[in-house]
Structure 1
Amino acid sequence: MSRTRDRARRHLKAHPLALDAALAAGVLVCMVAGSYVDPHGKHGVDWGIRTPDALSLVLIALGALALVFRRRAPRTVLALTGTVSLIECVVGDPRAPVAMSAVIALYTVAYTTDRATTVRLGLLTMTVLTGASMLAGPLPWYAQENLAIFAWTGIGATAGDAVRSRRAVVQAIRERAERAERTREEEARRRVAEERLRIARDLHDVVAHHIALVNVQAGVAAHVMDKRPDQAKEALAHVREASRSALNELRATVGLLRQSGDPEAPTEPAPGLDRLDELVGTFRSAGLHVEVARADHGTTLPAAVGLAAYRVVQEALTNVQKHAGTKAKAEVSVVRVGPNIEITVLDDGAGEDDDPENGGGHGLLGMRERVTALRGTLTTGPRYGGGFRVHAILPVKTRSRAPGDPV
């Protein structure tokens, strides 16, 4: 039964003209039946005591016919039904309930327009029909039929406005729910994009650092293989160590992409400034002269800040290795200044290409994104007299950034 009812409802929604025609037919039957009823008969409400004249039947037919087009032109239909109702109120004797069509038309206007239009047209219809009935109609001005016209037109306007308001409230609730759902989906996509960017930065830092070391050590091994095999073996040992470190870090980073049901991959804690000596040692073993100065007074950094500081030093020294060469000298300083920790990497630009910004890579961009994500600042650029400078300021205490906050 419910399935049949739902199917019928969908069919009527798909064919609104058929629904309006059925409504018009029902109103026509009610008006014709009402025109034969005498509410003031000897036995209360008597049926068949009075008979409508030809004019009343014509007006009834015109009012019902106009209702077929009530959705297409609601104001025009209201004007037509109001006109035939006005004629019936003035000349009808006995009076037929033609005003029923005007009530339906007024309901449609209230349902399809705004409240201001409903009030304006509703008051106009009520005043004109009621005034004409009282002043020019065949019945006394105090007859209940005159008051009924006033009441029913007011009910029609009020009911239409109430239904329109309810539909508007339901539509607003639905739109808010859809907007909230879209916001959740956009937030989820944003978080996924940020996580992908973070993983991409990690992969870039790991690959760029270790591959640069492998390249330098392999070149050293090839150069001294024939004359100094012991030094070549040492260089190859550094190649093996750098490649092992790269594989371990890649395995830990890619392990973040595994699904919850996948086997757990071996991971290790994220590197921080506690591993700075180890990091600098890899560059020294590759032939780069690096000096370190620390004045952070044993500051314990959050994992995110420590990782960002580590990656800044790693990327900066990798750029020195690639662009300035092993003959260059680099200086790394870590200083605690108030609520921030400052990391500075300088080189003297001994190589031919002393400007990493000319390389076209994404290292500097990745560093800037890392630092900015923690509400820090990063400045890079060539030094006066030659060389390059990387300076990062990171807050020791971090807080999560809400969507829409300025970076």
Structure 2
Amino acid sequence: MAAALAVTLIIGYAVVDPPGPSSPWPAWSAWPVAAVVSFPVAVRRRRPRAMLALACAAATVVTVAGAVAAGAIWVSFVPTVLVLYLVACTTSIAWSAAGLAACLSAAVTAVLIFYAQVFPGLAPAHSPSELPQAWPIEIGAIAVLLTAGWATGTAVRWNRQTTARLVGHLAETAVADERRRIARELHDVIGHSMSLITVKATVANHVADARPQEARAALAVIEQTSRSTLAEIHRVLDLLRSDGDPQQARLPAPGMADLPELAAHARSAGVEVELTVREEAALPPAVAMSVYRIVQQALTNVITHAGPARCSVTVDVDGRQAVIEVVDDGSRHGRPPRQDRSGHGLIGMRERARMYGGAFDAGPRPEGGFRVSARLPYNPDGTTP
């Protein structure tokens, strides 16, 4: 609306006080004419294509009718330039190029008709102008403005599309990297499980005749461990591809017992952490590791984006699912909170929850701060429900 008003004033002033001969229309008509020509600018965002046609048609009509002044015809096409810029930003290059060609053709035709039929009948200007009134100058100015508006809009559209593609590629890369990292972490759990199965199978084989009770106990361990390991292998195969990653050093998998150490690290960074863990049943190693990683990333986000702050971490395990909630109250030292935490950390946490068929949610709180919640369902043997 502000742009339309500004253009209206510019066009009206150019008609009232032109550089060349005045328009044969009454002086008061300059403002209604300017308003009509500038109207498409006010509503260009609703229907850009229709407003481009309307702006070009209005400028062409007022030019042919002699409602504009010699030497200032190009000003009446400024609204067309503004709408053409928006069209080039939001439509295909073929459509916007066709619009540019149509506008140029209409403008050239209107200017030639004006100088052939209207200009010879105008009264001479009261004072000589430094700007000569000639159709090549008018056509050249209009062509430069229209081309510049179209080129700028096309460049903006290309930049937006390139940025969108880059953001999508980065998101896909982040997901792939996180899945490979999950595979490396699960490697320790699966390797440990297979080693345990091998040992128990060896024991059962040697004591099957002499101590059948011990053999049956070993077979029970093998059964439970193999079910859990098979479930982890299926998750990895569903999420990951074999891409020849280099072997990583074997590290102990973190779990629930390491959560207090995470809280201590966050406290040393200035975040007041209240940790509550309600564990009614032991978690399978892979689930416990995912819980640890989600809490770790959530606390890292608090330290990075909100610290110093107050934060509560709640982990509730009931034998069927692990529920995680990390809530902070935002910065308490006057620093503006950074609510946009849409980086790769959230992508990784969401992937971990999805691996178990769970749910993940993260976002700013109405009362201030940020909340992260995740639910990881599982069966006692480690399989997905």
TM-score (norm. length: structure 1): 0.42
Structure showing greater Rg: 1
TM-score (norm. length: structure 2): 0.44
